[in-house]
Amino acid sequence: MSGPHRLHLLLEESARRGAGRIAVEDAQADAAATYGELNALADGLCELLIRQGVRPGDRVGICAPKSIGTVAAIFGILKAGAAYVPVDAGAPPQRNAFILGDCSVRAVVAERGLVEGLRAAGDAGPLPLREEIGVVGAYGADLLLLAGQDAEGDPGVEGTGATAAPAGLSYILYTSGSTGRPKGVMHTHASALSFVDWCSDTFEPTSADRFSSHAPFHFDLSILDLYVPLKHGGTLVLIGEEAGKQPQGLAALIAERRLTVWYSTPSLLRLLLEFGRIERYDYSALRLVLFAGEVFPVKHLRALQALWPHPRYFNLYGPTETNVCTYYEIPSVIPEERTEPLPIGRTCENDRARVIDAQERQPPPGGEGELYIAGGSVMQGYWNLPERNDQAFFRDSDGTRWYRTGDLVREASDRSYIFLGRKDRMVKRRGYRVELGEIEAALYRHPAVREAAVVALPDEENGVLIRAYLSTTAEGEPPSLIELKRFCAQNLPLYMVPDRFSFQASLPKTSTDKIDYQTLKERV
């Protein structure tokens, strides 16, 4: 591993080299912070956290929209030796309260307008909501620190983040869980920096680069966004949730802000292509287009290259548990006859990969199997889920620990991997990982729902279409489509709300009295 061994030292070293350079711009708030200002904000929060009893190894939640203050909060938490736990500020408060309670956060940095919702949802888990201390009231942010009930800080204690072990926890990202409850993916400073260092070697960023920050901070794409530009003294351009949903405004922003590196899901790039009218703008500054999280249909990728011919394009692959672990540089000209998706590529240099079939053997060349990953970028494990960790890893005779991705692939003759699909019922939608079981668990909360089954179907335009099959109780009329949509929006993130609902007298069962998902798929 090259360079600093803790994530927050990336900011500190860049601030020493160029305190006056712009570190972060907030496109929506029209605000900017230099490296010196950002580092000072992070130092202030670090001191405040320590006074409130936060110690190395603790977890600190973040529930706030993207802003310069939120970036400072992330680095302040790391400076204190703690791990940050970001949640979706737009998700139902009950979901966020569960996540923050599940990992026993010592404190929460929250946007002022979200505090009441967290308080009301506090019965989902023990949340530290005793104190409300102003953290950042500038740069377009209004953040409060909610400290723990038992906070007994010592003003004389200094932050120990700089001396924290690289193997120490740095952040926990919660992903959809098959039991209906999200699960926390734990990454260390070492596993995150393994990925950041690989990005540095592969993409050769400089202080002149201007990186997009389109992904929310609870999404794993944000790790590249946050740490790669700040390592090299570049500029991070924050794109808020509202701006990120408006293709025409986003198309103008990329050009006007002279972004040099773009990173997002293919779905967003497709929206830019179809509705952004990108032919009207000058994108000569753009040198890299990176995408990850789902398959990019070749016809859309080819059309984008025709309008943006100058950048290099990379398909980045990896579940949250591994960071990016394989990559593929897209050829400058994709043959017209090609219709199938391009490969997910070769293994990143800091990792190793192997393909294992259903009999836990290595298939012959060109054979299909599950992709296993080992190496520096792999997670530490799932928070407080020892049985899930046992299932997630395979340890070979040499003692190497391999993460089972659950993705089926085959190895091509050039040693790149071709993605074939998911092994289980986990799907990718708009770049987010979705466990269909979590949607079912939410639907079961509706009082009129007797049975619920959710299936994912391929869809050429959107990648995946989610259909919910329901049988209802005998009392009264079944809920309307509007009511169901509203109920789901109150209990799930918007990207998990089903596209279609179908009512059945009863759902089909297998011989073991389980719901027959295959039959449901055939009913479409």
Domain tally for the chain?
A: 3
Render pLDDT for 139-181 as a digit per residue (tens, 0 to 9). 878 999 998 655 555 544 455 554 566 789 999 999 876 666 8
Q: Do 497 and 382 share a structural domain?
A: no
The counts of H helices and E strands in the chain are 15, 27
CB 374 within 8 A of CB 351: yes
CB 264 within 8 A of CB 34: no
Q: Do 381 and 506 share a structural domain?
A: no
Q: Do 33 and 104 share a structural domain?
A: yes
The proportion of the chain whose per-residue pLDDT surpasses 90, expressed as a percent, equals 63
Give residues with Cβ within 8 angstroms of 237, minimum separation 6: 24, 25, 27, 210, 211, 212, 213, 257, 259
Q: Band of the pLDDT at 310, cuts 50, 70, 90?
A: very high
Q: Which residue has the tokens 């939640």?
A: 61
Look at residue 2 and tell me whether its pLDDT is greater than 60: no
Distance CA 207, CA 404 (A): 37
pLDDT at 17: 97
Q: Do 128 and 11 share a structural domain?
A: yes
Residue 353 domain boundaries: 344-422
Q: Do 467 and 514 share a structural domain?
A: yes
Tokens of 303: 């059309």
Give the β-pairing of 426-429 and 432-435. Answer: antiparallel
User: Which one is predicted more confidently, 445 or 201?
Assistant: 201
Helices (H), 258-375: 266-275, 298-307
User: Which one is predicted more confidently, 33 or 475?
Assistant: 33
Give Cα separations from 207 to 11, 22, 289, 412, 434 (angstroms): 13, 10, 18, 37, 36
Any domain includes 156? yes
Domain boundary among 361, 394, 422: 422
Give Cα separations from 120 to 102, 149, 218, 426 (angstroms): 17, 16, 22, 31
pLDDT at 158: 53
Q: Do 469 and 364 share a structural domain?
A: no
pLDDT at 131: 65
Helices (H), 84-155: 93-102, 115-120
Q: Do 515 and 415 share a structural domain?
A: no
Domain boundary among 188, 208, 240: 188
Give Cα separations from 341 to 74, 219, 369 (angstroms): 36, 24, 18
Q: Do 367 and 474 share a structural domain?
A: no
Distance CA 129, CA 121 (A): 11
Look at residue 12 and tell me whether its pLDDT is greater than 80: yes
Look at residue 209 and tell me whether its pLDDT is greater than 80: yes
